[in-house]
Structure 1
Amino acid sequence: MRANTLVYDVGSTYTKAAAFRLERGKFTFLGRGQSLTTLNNIMDGAARAEQSIREQGVDFDETVQRYSSCSAAGGLRMVALGYMPRVTAKAAKEVSMTAGARVMQVVSAEEPLAYRKEVLLEINPDIILLSGGTDGGDESCALENAEMICELHSRATVIIACNKYAQREVAEKLARAGVSYVRVPNIMPTIHELNVKPAREAIHEHFIKQITRAKGLMEFRDSLADHTVVPTPGAVLLASELLARGTYEQEGAGSLILVDIGGATTDIHSILPELEKLTIEERGLVINNEKQFAYRTVEGNLGLRVSATGIPEAVGPNAILRAMDDPDGTTPEGVLAFAQKLEDQPDYIPQTEEERMLERAMATCAIRTALRRHAGHYAEVEDPVMGIMAGTAMGRDLRHVHRVLCVGGIFVHTEEAAGRTMVLRSFEEPGISLLPLEEPDVILDRNYLLYAMGVLGKHYPDAACSFLKEYVGAATEE
């Protein structure tokens, strides 16, 4: 069977490729390969990844359609400026979720102007999300922040996503100061409504401009069927959303949790389709991220390489020892030394069984911590003012989720049984966290295909959804 569809993922270290046959509305997976990313010319690494698939005996049609995601840029640094602190933070997280940006700081109008200036000078962001004020609401905050940005002569691109009645004056101020900007509809037109898609698309376009600075990436992009590159975290999330929600033609697999653990971060996504049916009254008068269909949290200090020491710092070395299959002979000092080694040598591969157990134990602790930060919890004390009783469920409720998808290099290179055990341990003893009530079904993306289906789902949603359901064993559950 000849491949007619190829999807790349250009990473900072490796460029991956996955080959498929699309025929009669169905994808068949044929093989995957990878090569070191060639920063001197992106095209070279992509060609080698494709060649590694050919060497496995996979032939390609002459009219093969190529697509790609990319994480090589590392994510754009974004600062969100807004009016109300909690509302701005929630909106900023929603905007950045699939756009290829990292929210470095959220600053509200409650912070002194001098502090806001200090944040922008210290972070030197690639993007400033200028929000604030519902349509017809406050205008002064956005105008004040625009004047501050002009005074600093910021090199960032400003996404003007504030009160629509303030946008024209904000744009005029930025234009006179020579500050780059893009106007999009207000991300929060009313206090209970989010409109984040236009802002996400604007950030995505800026992401593309940044990564095309790499030699050969403009040529690489032009060789793709859709002439675009999707941020890899966004591609993974799009795949999980498609799987959970389904399409007009077929039902999805339902609620799920996505665990994405890498060298720098541990990301948790939860996709809860049932929340799309909530009324405005059920959502609450003020928009609440925890009640959105898709929700993502990123733990920037919990990674298995460049932020490896953050794991023992967060949980303590003894917690890592308890998570090991056989901790005999391993000391807390040994845990700390191993974490430091991984951080100092990001390309290091564990050589002994003890090191492999340590890495799995560190992953378990990172996932466990990230899950508890992502999930809601039972209130421990009564709050008469807020009308909350002890034992009330608050925040993101994952108690009835029964499927967990796992993405990351450790799941590709670890034996499946060991990988599943590693994840299941992270759900043990939930305490007050609103984690699944029953042991979830753990699916490891051992072929690293979720990103590919996220990219292809934009063009072939039904074929991608069918493939995903079969891939995770949900095809027969409808």
Structure 2
Amino acid sequence: MKAIIFDIGSTFTKGVAFDLDKSEIIGRAKYPSTVNEDVTIGLQNVISEIERQTGLNIRDFNIKKATSSAAGGLKIIAIGLVPDLTTEAAKKASLGAGGKVIKIYSYELTSSDLDEILYLKPDIIILAGGTDGGNRYYPIINAKKLSRLPLNIPFIYAGNKDLQDEIKNIFLSNSKEIYITENVMPEYGVINIEKVQNIIREVFLRNIIHAKGLDKVQEIIDGIVMPTPLAVLKGLESFSEIYGECLLIDVGGATTDVCSVAKGEPTQNNVILKGLKEPYVKRSVEGDLGVRVSALSLFESAKKDIIKSFSHDKVKVIEEKVKFLNINTSYIPKNDEDLHLDAILAYFAVKIATERHVGHIEMVYTPMGTLLFQYGKDLRELDKVVCTGGPLIYNPYRVESLKGVIYSNDEPFILKPKNPTFYVDKEYIMFAIGVISEIYKDKSMSLVEKYINKV
């Protein structure tokens, strides 16, 4: 059985061909994306190269599917009531569905909030707020304000279930497309995100692909089946079925993604778990931590520590090189000095992104003694980390970059893995494994075993 899986990105369109019966890659190609012209041009160039490599025609492949993060990805705005509760739950649902959360809002939307929403041009807006039987005011008032905006996009309501009919009528009366689903937080502190994630994916397939002009690919292949980040997450789930709880780090030019498949419950005595319970499969995206498009913001985030890695006379040169990378986003390092800089930038992208993803412990002093509260996942005992993304696959100094994942005694309350084994997606196929896993789980796991190897 032959499969060909594509990733239509904003910069490149990539394709990987497989013989699934043998669990082998039989062809691969990439070509600059042509989303702003005709998306099928870049796709057809990739197909032609893979046909040349394999001696097969595109019609000979049993499976022909694609993922996409083109045209800015799936841009989502999440709106809730309390920042650390319903708003955070809506954000987690969006990220877990492969979305790019461009803004979150809490409480009542102001005029300036509404103006900003129009400026941001989201693909989907998720409105949450109130536990079931709880707050009624904020979901209703925000629904009224949102429904009057001149936006022709889908809205998803995932708040207080008692308001579903009223919310639906508010949007329909203003000729808006509205999807109603289960509350992301039906009870205080309880997260329920699976249903809304399914709706997000359904909306992506039905609406967003067409809106971004990507539906033309259906003339050539079987269509785009999910956002690329969701495909990577599903690939990691296949990895976890073999190796157990795990973490994935994906360093890119614009963002660094971190995904975990783990419970993250407290691993030490006398620790009290607080805050929202984290989803077992969790994804976080750091839009300010990339080694090209976001190189300047990454540099500013860790400037003092980055400078320490170089001699004093090199500081100005390094600052200029970072500015160069920020502008020349397709630049590939050509000498040892540039490779070293890329590795250092990747180290801090990994370090900061992992610290934001994992949980932390807060020490509180009370008359009864010292209390330890854990927020988020404790991943100190997690022992499998998968790395992907150019700097972590191709850079000869990648082992140094990966040290950013590891727990530090200098920061004992940041709950990063203590002694992980690293695996590398050396063929850059995690997204394809994720797509295949939805059709043939066993074959996706065979690909994991063959191609996701220890560093």
CA distance in 1, matches of 2:384, 2:375: 21
| Other structure's SS at 2:243 match | coil
Deviations 1:384-429 (A, max 9, x none): 39x89366654321101111111112234323xx222321255363
CA distance in 1, matches of 2:311, 2:52: 43
Q: 8 Å contact 2:426–2:451 — kept in the other structure?
A: no
CA distance in 1, matches of 2:187, 2:418: 35
Instruction: Quote the offset at 1:359 in angstroms.
Output: 1.1
Q: For 1:41-440, what aligned pairs fall within 5 Å after superposition? A: 41-57=38-54, 59=56, 62-109=60-107, 111=108, 113-114=110-111, 116-208=113-205, 209-215=207-213, 217-221=214-218, 223-225=220-222, 227-244=223-240, 246=241, 252-272=242-262, 287-289=276-278, 292-316=279-303, 318-323=304-309, 327=310, 331-379=314-362, 381-384=363-366, 389=370, 393-415=374-396, 418-424=397-403, 426-427=405-406, 429=408, 431-432=411-412, 433-438=414-419, 440=420
| Other structure's SS at 2:257 match | strand
| Other structure's SS at 1:97 match | helix
Instruction: Quote the offset at 1:28 in angstroms.
Output: 2.4
Instruction: Quote the offset at 1:264 in angstroms.
Output: 0.8
Detail structure 1 runs of 4+ shifted over 6 Å in the superposition: none
Q: 8 Å contact 1:32–1:53 — kept in the other structure?
A: yes
Q: 8 Å contact 2:264–2:378 — kept in the other structure?
A: no
Instruction: Quote the offset at 1:313 in angstroms.
Output: 0.3
Equivalent position amino acid for 1:320 in 2: I
Select between 258-267 and 344-353 the one with higher mean Cα deviation. 344-353
1:441 is aligned to 2:424: no
Equivalent position amino acid for 2:364 in 1: E
CA distance in 1, matches of 2:93, 2:4: 29
Residue of structure 2 in register with 1:7 after alignment = 5
CA distance in 1, matches of 2:321, 2:371: 41
Q: 8 Å contact 2:87–2:128 — kept in the other structure?
A: no
Aligned identity (percent) is 29
| Other structure's SS at 1:90 match | helix
Q: 8 Å contact 2:132–2:160 — kept in the other structure?
A: yes
| Other structure's SS at 1:69 match | strand
Deviations 1:22-70 (A, max 9, x none): 22xx632223211111232222222222332344455467243211111
Q: What is the TM-score normalised by the length of structure 2?
A: 0.88
CA distance in 1, matches of 2:369, 2:346: 35
**Structure 1: unaligned runs, 5 residues or longer:** 247-251, 276-281
The structure-2 alpha-carbon separation of the partners of 1:329 and 1:145, relative to structure 1 and needing over 3 Å to count, comes to: closer
Q: 8 Å contact 1:254–1:273 — kept in the other structure?
A: no
Q: 8 Å contact 1:253–1:469 — kept in the other structure?
A: no
Equivalent position amino acid for 1:352 in 2: N
CA distance in 2, matches of 1:426, 1:131: 33
Residue of structure 1 in register with 2:443 after alignment = 463
| Other structure's SS at 1:104 match | strand
Instruction: Quote the offset at 1:198 in angstroms.
Output: 2.9
CA distance in 2, matches of 1:426, 1:321: 20
Select between 368-377 and 303-312 the one with higher mean Cα deviation. 368-377
